[in-house]
DNA sequence: CACAGGTACCTTTCATAGCACGGTACCACC
DNA sequence: GGTGGTACCGTGCTATGAAAGGTACCTGTG
């Protein structure tokens, strides 16, 4: 059970949560997530996640040129993305509760 | 983000937690887990998990014939399995905290 | 000017885990 | 003898996190 397996699926929730605070771009998201405790997070993981989310209609993106570096691709939540976040948070909470119950009973 | 993705990695923790209460077998584990809130859990998932755990040295198994049904394969935690559970619980707690922080800040 | 380093994005490829599906086999009961 | 519950297993599919590599922009510094 390596760390990466634990992260599976949870990462979507983390990204959606950050985007719910306002638009962001891949590089910044990676930094934010690592600062939030998601260690050893490769940037390719985030870019893949964002691409999937855009295909699913959860986020939209716009390319914004920058004068002091490469262009940034800003992503914002759509209505569907917000719905998915609510839904995911609910199931996440249930999962946490289920596991907490199991771990509590252990001796 | 389907339910099964959320479960990735988490299932190991759930199985280890149950086994920490005492030995059990695949079929019973499946029942217990579904009762605990892990809906739509296929039995193949559990058998695969147990097989991986045995290969990893986290559990041992013994086949016990039954007079009122097929033989059962009982699994118990090894010392390494117990260590893995402790470790996993710690990282799980951290992950839950990280995500809680992210979800809280959302508007 | 060359080049290192930070920023920012992307693609290809791989390993893994959950799951659907199908199969085997034992036992009890009607 | 057929149905239903118990109990196990193998094969193939799919999604996803991650490694590895590549491109390109800009700001220093030598």
Residue B9 and residue A19: Cα distance in Å, rounded? Answer: 25
What is the average pLDDT score of chain B?
91
The beta-carbon contacts of B44-47 under 8 Å, at least 24 apart in sequence, are: B45/B11, B46/B15
Range of the domain at A59: 3-104
Residue of B nearest to A20 (CA): B106
DSSP sequence for A1-48: --HHHHHTTHHHHHHHHHHTTS-EEHHHHHHHHHHTT--S--HHHHHH
In chain B, the largest separation of any two C-alpha atoms, in whole Å, equals: 59
Kindly report, residue by residue over B77-97, the tens digit of the pLDDT. 999 999 999 999 999 999 999
Report the domain count for chain B. 1
> In A, which residues are within 8 Å of B45 by CB distance?
none
C-alpha of A105 from chain center: 31
Q: What is the pLDDT along chain A (107 residues), one digit of tens a residue?
A: 667 778 888 999 999 999 999 999 999 999 999 999 888 898 999 999 999 999 999 999 999 998 888 999 999 999 999 999 999 999 999 999 999 999 987 55
Residue B44 and residue B27: Cα distance in Å, rounded? Answer: 10
Kindly report, residue by residue over A43-58, the tens digit of the pLDDT. 999 999 999 999 999 9
Judged by C1' against the alpha carbon of B8, the nearest nucleotide is C17
For residue A89, the domain's CATH number is 1.10.10.10
Chain A: which residues have CB within 8 Å of chain B? 1, 3-10, 12-14, 17-18, 20-21, 36-38, 84-85, 88-89, 91-92, 94-99, 101-103, 105-107
- Percent pLDDT > 70 in chain B is 96
């Amino acid at each position: 059970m390596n760390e990466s397996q634990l992260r599976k699926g949870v990462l979507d929730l983390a990204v959606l949560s950050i985007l719910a605070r306002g638009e962001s771009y891949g590089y910044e998201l990676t930094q934010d997530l690592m600062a939030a405790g998601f260690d050893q997070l490769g940037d390719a993981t985030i870019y893949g996640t964002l691409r999937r989310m855009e295909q699913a209609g959860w986020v939209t993106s716009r390319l914004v040129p920058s004068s002091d570096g490469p262009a940034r691709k800003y992503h914002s939540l759509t209505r569907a993305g917000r719905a998915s976040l609510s839904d995911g948070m609910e199931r996440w909470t249930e999962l946490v509760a289920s596991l907490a119950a199991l771990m509590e009973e252990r001796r």
